[in-house]
């Protein structure tokens, strides 16, 4: 490799390295973006599952809490007076003379353990635990003594958990936090669930409006009941008579007194023997008096019911109590329920699985393949260009060298003959013979160059035809024998092929190939002790093989790889004064392959000299 060629290869290597490094950086960035995209998709799926789970749980609890919120406050009494009643004879009954049992006496809800009420004096009562004659009435009509005792035991447990003064402060603080809490994520998730649950939002809105109307009606009814109680007091009935006769732990109201019902707020109560107890409490303002009403939740049952709602999408879901107020972060999904002070956990992280061949990776693979093919093609083109330039330089050098000697001889001898400087007829004949030999040499050189050019351009095609081996040998052997004799060599012929064997060959191409091989033997082996050139004709594997072997120095292993390269001459060839331009063997192989055969270098049987094998395909059998 010359210095100029190495410079070209260095620049090409630098460019290729820069292209590969740039493509590697782009590939790394694209793969990182792909991983981020898949992670974002997995996180979006996880958040969607979380939102759906929260929505399901809150949707299950929401209607039940709404029902409790819409419950009139006077239902927290075991029995409350009817506003107006009539006998069968349509005779009006005195207001307050008819008591109505509270629906809570027979109310059963799996996750609600007990309803209770705390009056302004801090006394704790429950509609499910009637007292005095109301208990006898309840046992004889709707409840059993076992049920009342069970509710009474729960009421005692609540009494141990609750401090009347402290619980009021907790409720007030919880209501304040509820008023300051922003809209929970559940309301936002309703919008995203429209396509899943159809017209749920519209139905929920309609249901909410209906509940508000019912609640307003019930509040109006309760006001009328207390107005009736006040009217009884105006007629001379004492508050003690109302409490003793009707078991209502309420005070008499002035007709201008109003009733305000607050919202339920959840509160966790610590227990020494059990897990934390969950209660829902609301404030009731009846005139100047404040009451607390609420219910105790069976947290274990509620938790089991909520987890069952999401078991299909969150098999490992868990609910843990949340003591702090609900906080909604705008940049992260909430894990908290909006209706229950609990936080969901156990959401299995979505594994990010990327296929081995994604569209992005397929595109990168194609880009890499195109770039590598382009670099390879560029390298091959650069190699071919440099090789072509080197061959052109070698050809010019070889042809110049080959033309210089005969032209010098022509000029010298022609000038000597033209000036009659050679008087001896024998020497004059010798000079003329030299001029004829040099002209033949020049003619062969020019003919080889033109023939190779025609073959490379496809303008000269051989015309193989069926010819007998004997006829072919009879035509070429005399020429080869005379050529060997001119080179002071001897041609030895051995033919093992039948006389009527037919091959597909071009006569001129076979003659040119064998002549060139014999000429090379005469050039490189004429200084050896054994000056014999062996021509051995055999048949093998559907081909006739013509082996030309000499006993000269042979072909070195280094030169064997470039032996058939056009215009390439080995070290031994350059040391021979009569050597050509390095085109003969390349032209011979091209001619052999063009007619369906081949020319190759073979191993000499005695490991001395050069051995070339010309293979010619066998034609149709002779008749």
Query: For tokens 């635990």, what's the residue?
Result: 129
| DSSP assignment of 374-423 | HHHHHHHHHHHHHHHHHHHHHHHHHHHHHHHHHHHHHHHHHHHHHTT---
Cβ atoms of 357 and 333 within 8 Å: the answer is: no
Alpha carbons 110 and 95: distance in angstroms, whole number: 36
* Start and end residues for every CATH 3.30.565.10 domain found in the chain: 462-623
Alpha carbons 98 and 84: distance in angstroms, whole number: 8
Residue 257 has pLDDT above 90, yes or no: no
Neighbours of 435 (CB within 10 A): 16
Planar angle of CA 511, 514, 518, nearest 5 degrees: 135
Residue 72 has pLDDT above 50, yes or no: yes
Q: Which of 53, 325, 294, 85 is nearest to 193 (CA)?
A: 53
Q: Where are the alpha helices (DSSP H) in 70-163?
A: 132-141, 145-161
Residue 459 has pLDDT above 70, yes or no: no
Q: Which of 385, 363, 361, 382 is nearest to 16 (CA)?
A: 382
Percent residues over pLDDT 70 in the chain: 79
pLDDT, mean of residues 382-409: 77
Give the CB-side neighbour count of residue 482, counting CA atoms within 13 A. 4
Residue 368 in 3-state DSSP? helix
| Of the ranges 248-262, 450-464, 563-577, the best mean pLDDT one | 450-464
Percent residues over pLDDT 90 in the chain: 25
Residue 178 has pLDDT above 50, yes or no: yes
Q: Which of 569, 540, 557 is nearest to 603 (CA)?
A: 557
Tokens of 256: 């201008």
Report the DSSP pairing between strands 490-495 and 532-540: parallel
How deeply is 590 buried, as exposed, middle or buried, from its count of CB atoms within 10 A (0-12, 13-18, 19+)? buried
pLDDT tens readout for residues 210-231: 545 555 555 555 455 444 444 4
pLDDT at 17: 94
Lowest mean pLDDT among 243-252, 282-291, 517-526: 243-252
Length of the chain: 623
pLDDT tens readout for residues 304-347: 999 999 999 888 889 999 877 655 444 455 788 989 999 988 77
Backbone φ/ψ region at 234: left (φ over 0), alpha (ψ -120 to 50), beta: alpha
Q: Which of 270, 289, 272, 269 is nearest to 281 (CA)?
A: 269
Helices (H) and strands (E) in the chain, counts: 16, 19
Cα dihedral 551→588→581→577 (10° resolution): 20
Alpha carbons 243 and 249: distance in angstroms, whole number: 6
pLDDT tens readout for residues 142-167: 888 899 999 999 999 999 888 888 89
pLDDT at 11: 92
Tokens of 211: 């509940």
Alpha carbons 413 and 419: distance in angstroms, whole number: 10
The CATH architecture that domain 462-623 belongs to is: 2-Layer Sandwich (3.30)
Indicate yes or no: pTM above 0.85: no
pLDDT at 281: 94
Q: C-alpha 409: how far from its chain's center?
A: 77
Residue 113 in 3-state DSSP? strand
Cα separations in angstroms, 250 against 128, 230, 264: 17, 11, 21
Alpha carbons 171 and 265: distance in angstroms, whole number: 7
pLDDT tens readout for residues 34-51: 888 888 888 888 888 889
Q: Which of 466, 475, 616, 472 is nearest to 539 (CA)?
A: 616
Q: Which residue has the higher pLDDT, 531 or 398?
A: 531
């Amino acid at each position: 490799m010359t210095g100029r060629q190495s410079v070209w290869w260095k620049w090409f290597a630098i460019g290729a390295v820069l292209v590969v490094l740039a493509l590697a950086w782009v590939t790394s960035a694209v793969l990182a973006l792909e991983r981020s995209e898949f992670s974002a998709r997995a996180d979006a799926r996880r958040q969607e599952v979380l939102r759906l789970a929260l929505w399901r749980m809150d949707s299950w609890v929401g209607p039940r809490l709404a029902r409790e919120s819409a419950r009139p406050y006077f239902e927290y009494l075991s029995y409350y007076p009817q506003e107006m009643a009539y006998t069968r004879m349509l005779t009006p009954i005195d207001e307050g003379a008819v008591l109505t049992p509270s629906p809570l006496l027979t109310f059963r809800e799996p996750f609600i353990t007990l309803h209770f009420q705390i009056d302004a004096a801090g006394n704790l009562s429950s509609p499910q635990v009637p007292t005095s004659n109301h208990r006898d009435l309840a046992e004889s009509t709707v409840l059993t003594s076992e049920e009342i005792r069970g509710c009474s035991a729960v009421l005692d447990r609540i009494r141990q958990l609750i401090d009347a003064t402290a619980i009021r402060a907790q409720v007030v603080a919880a209501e304040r936090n509820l008023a300051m809490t922003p809209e929970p994520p559940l309301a936002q998730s309703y919008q995203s669930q429209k396509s899943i649950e159809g017209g749920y939002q519209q139905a929920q809105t309609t249901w909410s409006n209906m509940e508000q109307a019912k609640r307003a009606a019930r509040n109006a009814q309760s006001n009328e009941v207390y107005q009736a109680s006040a009217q009884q007091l105006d007629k001379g009935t004492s508050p003690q008579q109302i409490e003793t006769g009707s078991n209502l732990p309420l005070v008499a109201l002035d007709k201008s007194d109003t009733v305000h019902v607050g919202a339920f707020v959840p509160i966790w109560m610590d227990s020494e023997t059990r897990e934390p107890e969950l209660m829902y409490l609301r404030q009731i303002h009846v005139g100047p008096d404040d009451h607390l009403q609420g219910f105790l939740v069976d947290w274990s049952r509620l938790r089991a019911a909520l987890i069952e709602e999401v078991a299909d999408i969150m098999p490992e879901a868990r609910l843990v109590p949340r003591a702090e107020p609900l906080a909604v972060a705008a940049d992260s999904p909430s894990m908290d329920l909006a209706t229950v002070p609990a936080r969901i956990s156990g959401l299995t992280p979505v594994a990010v699985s990327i296929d081995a061949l994604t569209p992005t990776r397929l595109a990168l693979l194609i880009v890499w393949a195109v770039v590598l093919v382009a670099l390879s093609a560029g390298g091959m083109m650069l190699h071919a260009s440099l090789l072509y330039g080197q061959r052109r330089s070698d050809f010019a050098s070889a042809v110049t060298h080959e033309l210089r000697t005969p032209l010098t001889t022509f000029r010298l001898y022609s000038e000597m003959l033209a000036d009659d400087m050679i008087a001896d007829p024998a020497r004059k004949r010798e000079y003329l013979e030299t001029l004829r030999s040099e002209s033949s040499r020049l003619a062969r050189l020019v003919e080889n160059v033109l023939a190779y050019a025609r073959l490379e351009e496809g303008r000269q095609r051989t015309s193989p035809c069926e010819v007998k081996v004997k006829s072919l040998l009879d035509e070429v052997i005399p020429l080869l024998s005379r050529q060997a004799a001119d080179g002071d060599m001897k041609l030895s012929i051995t033919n093992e092929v039948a006389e009527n064997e037919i091959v597909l060959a071009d006569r001129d191409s076979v003659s040119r190939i064998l002549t060139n091989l014999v000429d090379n033997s005469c050039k490189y082996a004429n200084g050896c002790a054994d000056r014999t050139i062996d021509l051995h004709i055999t048949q093998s594997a559907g081909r006739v093989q013509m082996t030309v072997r000499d006993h000269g120095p042979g072909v070195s292993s280094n030169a064997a790889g470039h032996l058939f390269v056009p215009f390439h001459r080995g070290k031994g060839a350059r040391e021979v004064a009569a050597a050509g331009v390095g085109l003969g063997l390349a032209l011979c192989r091209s001619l052999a392959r063009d007619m369906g055969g081949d020319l190759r270098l073979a191993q000499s049987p005695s490991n001395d000299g050069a051995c070339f094998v010309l293979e010619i395909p066998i034609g149709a059998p002779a008749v």
